[in-house]
Structure 1
């Protein structure tokens, strides 16, 4: 269920007058609008508010007369500047804004992208929607209660004649004010531009019914999102448990006719160090063994060709970095590509290798679909004939392997697990035939879990 799309649909119905039924006994919105105009004119005359400036695009004939859609009979088209006063706050220096709230710096400070921190002074008190007017998130709407400071990048929305606070807040979100931002490196919203944005105004009592209905519906969606988050967490924990069962021999039944892992290792690599009687692994099934990672694969640390030689880059040979390991098991694309010349000065790993991030964000793992190279933050495990490449990937994806990486990491300013430490991690090894059965079962379960997650 796409709850974000449902929220937008609810707001869309609300702004079109289709969310709640109309009541013919309601005072028409046109009467409310006249009261608002009268109230604002009085305040302008008394010098308490300023008359809004007109944009260059504003004509004598209000552009909202060319209405974008039909509204109920007792509604009326107007503009934001007619029913509200939109007033940007005042500048405050960054040194006067603190990230943590304290007794001295106790007032929230709102800027173009929401709350910036806390300050010692305030310039507003009350309940207001606030429009962010500067930055990538300009047009975002915040709802503020109490005492606060609004910077010059935050537009405070003043209401009149008991216009419903929450109706105003939800309607401002529905208007998607970001669409009116300037298309520059630093997007911005001019107050005189958003003053002219057309808005359908419902009667006051209908505003209240609309905001109440939206609140109820959004509370249902909040509950659904909480359950979705819970289910996603449960799915992630289930996958971790599946891998844990897999590497301890509890996911699939054993077959006594399988060639034992220890015999396979001795046949392939007579010098392999096998510790099948390790105390930590006494509960492993018959036919399993324990060895170091280097006995079942070759570990290679990547390298980065010199950026000073542009001929190394721009070819079609994948150059994998840690960020490329963020997209699930199969790593099909790289953020950069090397030329053949660049490949020659790098360390090439074959398709089917398992890439493990060992500097910085330790433990990110990916199965390389295509042969390529990696940078120095990645150690690649190239499987031998003793291990199924997909099993090696799931082994390195397990929480057990991750915990071993963390224990072996050293750090001054950044966590590192070098090649020697990684290849000397002890790993449980099932018979080769069982490795294939384990992978098949893992992927069968993961497909079912992924299907459930995709439906959330």
Structure 2
């Protein structure tokens, strides 16, 4: 079930007056708005509001011609029919957000640069703390008390509405429900309504697709997107009669609570599926997923086949002879040794776990028919007959997506040898980038529906195995170690890279070829069934 779409559908019905029955005896919203205007004027007279807090107040009404008009504080009137997004039931009214508020403001954290967070004091609310209708305070931050003296208008009060107006989380809105005061920064707008009874309804309205789309449509196109307070204050908000507003909130709270319960159950099931996939891969690479047959041709025989295949490729000039070929074996003392160029090394401490007797350990470098290396830094063009496989093509959740590839300038083709073009079964590893480094995927020709040739870019490492090592098994092994690969990046925080040498030295548990096939079949069958469950959730 698409709970997000269902949630938005319910919110959309609510703000259009289609969620609960209309009662013609309800006092119309125009009366509520008139009371708000009177209260704002009184607060201004008492010095609680400033001139700027009321100068943009207006009254929106329908004229005798059934068109919408707006009357401003200076007495002028303007037809705004073109701005009205949808029709409202009788008894409802439109209002600018500014006309409902005592203040619309935000913090000003640049003045706080250099201030250290503390373990107590004034709570500091950032955009990370503003969820959809929920205040997120798992790891609260605090500021010294003196900050309140510096920024008094950004001190939060109970029932303030908080809306993210900077960055990717623009539009997330919740109510500040705590009794203790807090302070916020410039990424969060503070909306303080005159009528506290309306807070829950306005929060839900601002979280609806109608308002969120307005926020994205009005954001400033700069390096980091942001929404101005002027644009936010100008939003048209559909206002129901107060009694209907209560009925809407009651229905929404009940309905959204059920949706949250469904979403929670779906999230738990997704986590269980992810755990199951991880466990299956872990069992597979330890020889515990499928039965072992002592009659299977041992993996040590594969080494001879690899040597023969390697010699043939050397004769053809496709690869160079490895000057330091590695052979890993068990000694008479039952410990593991590695022989490199005639020299013996004890490597028992490197072996991560036990494997069946018919299996063997190999360095990844010795499993591969081509050198483990990244692609080249490409020169792009608008259109060509060759694509560039970038790290974004190796997606987090949807496998390989060649539609994200760009075109390579064919004038640079002479830089690419024939073995550098991606082939069916190539294992690809994202080798740079925070959040993507270490991600493992497998490229299949069926992923590339364009029919065009494709080469990897410099942020992707390609692993291509010998024919007697199943590429799908190798992918499963690498995928099982993805979380470890993610931690092996070297360099500064924002410039970490997974070096080819790190991958070359990786130990791979190699089963007999017949076992590799049984493992990949078992993984494929199980993952297909789990995918059906995931699809049903969507």
TM-score class, shorter-chain normalisation, is: 0.7 to 0.9
Relative distance call for 1:130 and 1:362 in structure 2 (3 A) is closer
User: Residue 95 of structure 2 corresponds to which residue in structure 1?
Assistant: 79
Aligned ranges for residues 260-409 of structure 1 at < 5 Å?
260-269=298-307, 273-275=327-329, 278=336, 284-285=355-356, 287-298=358-369, 299-305=371-377, 315-327=384-396, 328-330=398-400, 332=402, 335-346=405-416, 348-351=420-423, 352-358=425-431, 362-369=437-444, 372-399=454-481, 403=484, 405=485, 409=488
User: Residue 55 of structure 2 corresponds to which residue in structure 1?
Assistant: 52
Q: Are the equivalent residues in 2 in contact too, given 1:86–1:195 (CA < 8 A)?
A: no
User: Residue 160 of structure 2 corresponds to which residue in structure 1?
Assistant: 128
Deviations 1:88-145 (A, max 9, x none): 3367351415786426862435689969986612324342224455666555434224
Instruction: Give the CA deviation at 1:449.
Output: 1.2
CA distance in 1, matches of 2:406, 2:376: 11
**Counterpart of 1:436 in 2: which secondary structure?**
helix
| 1:42 matched to 2:78 | no
Q: Are the equivalent residues in 2 in contact too, given 1:114–1:132 (CA < 8 A)?
A: yes
Instruction: Give the CA deviation at 1:207.
Output: 2.1
User: Residue 94 of structure 1 corresponds to which residue in structure 2?
Assistant: 110
CA distance in 2, matches of 1:48, 1:424: 70
Q: Are the equivalent residues in 1 in contact too, given 2:26–2:241 (CA < 8 A)?
A: yes
Match of 2:524 among 429, 433, 443: 443
User: Residue 10 of structure 1 corresponds to which residue in structure 2?
Assistant: 10
User: Residue 448 of structure 2 corresponds to which residue in structure 1?
Assistant: none
CA distance in 1, matches of 2:301, 2:160: 74
Instruction: Give the CA deviation at 1:452.
Output: 1.3
Relative distance call for 1:190 and 1:286 in structure 2 (3 A) is closer
Relative distance call for 1:331 and 1:353 in structure 2 (3 A) is farther
| 1:147 matched to 2:181 | yes
Q: Are the equivalent residues in 1 in contact too, given 2:94–2:236 (CA < 8 A)?
A: yes
Relative distance call for 1:80 and 1:130 in structure 2 (3 A) is farther
C-alpha RMSD over aligned residues = 4.2
Q: Are the equivalent residues in 2 in contact too, given 1:312–1:343 (CA < 8 A)?
A: no
Q: Are the equivalent residues in 2 in contact too, given 1:112–1:135 (CA < 8 A)?
A: no
User: Residue 167 of structure 1 corresponds to which residue in structure 2?
Assistant: 201
Relative distance call for 1:329 and 1:89 in structure 2 (3 A) is closer
**Counterpart of 2:56 in 1: which secondary structure?**
coil
User: Residue 185 of structure 1 corresponds to which residue in structure 2?
Assistant: 221
Q: Are the equivalent residues in 2 in contact too, given 1:366–1:393 (CA < 8 A)?
A: yes
Q: Are the equivalent residues in 2 in contact too, given 1:318–1:333 (CA < 8 A)?
A: no
Instruction: Give the CA deviation at 1:415.
Output: 5.4
Give the TM-score normalised by the residue count of structure 1.
Answer: 0.79
Q: Are the equivalent residues in 1 in contact too, given 2:20–2:248 (CA < 8 A)?
A: yes
Q: Are the equivalent residues in 1 in contact too, given 2:56–2:98 (CA < 8 A)?
A: no
Deviations 1:275-308 (A, max 9, x none): 2665769964454333332333133212534x7x
CA distance in 1, matches of 2:274, 2:531: 10
**Counterpart of 2:259 in 1: which secondary structure?**
helix
User: Residue 205 of structure 1 corresponds to which residue in structure 2?
Assistant: 243
CA distance in 2, matches of 1:336, 1:423: 28
Q: Are the equivalent residues in 2 in contact too, given 1:296–1:385 (CA < 8 A)?
A: no
Relative distance call for 1:171 and 1:353 in structure 2 (3 A) is closer
CA distance in 2, matches of 1:66, 1:92: 32
CA distance in 1, matches of 2:536, 2:508: 36
Give the TM-score normalised by the residue count of structure 2.
Answer: 0.69
User: Residue 256 of structure 2 corresponds to which residue in structure 1?
Assistant: 218
Relative distance call for 1:166 and 1:334 in structure 2 (3 A) is closer
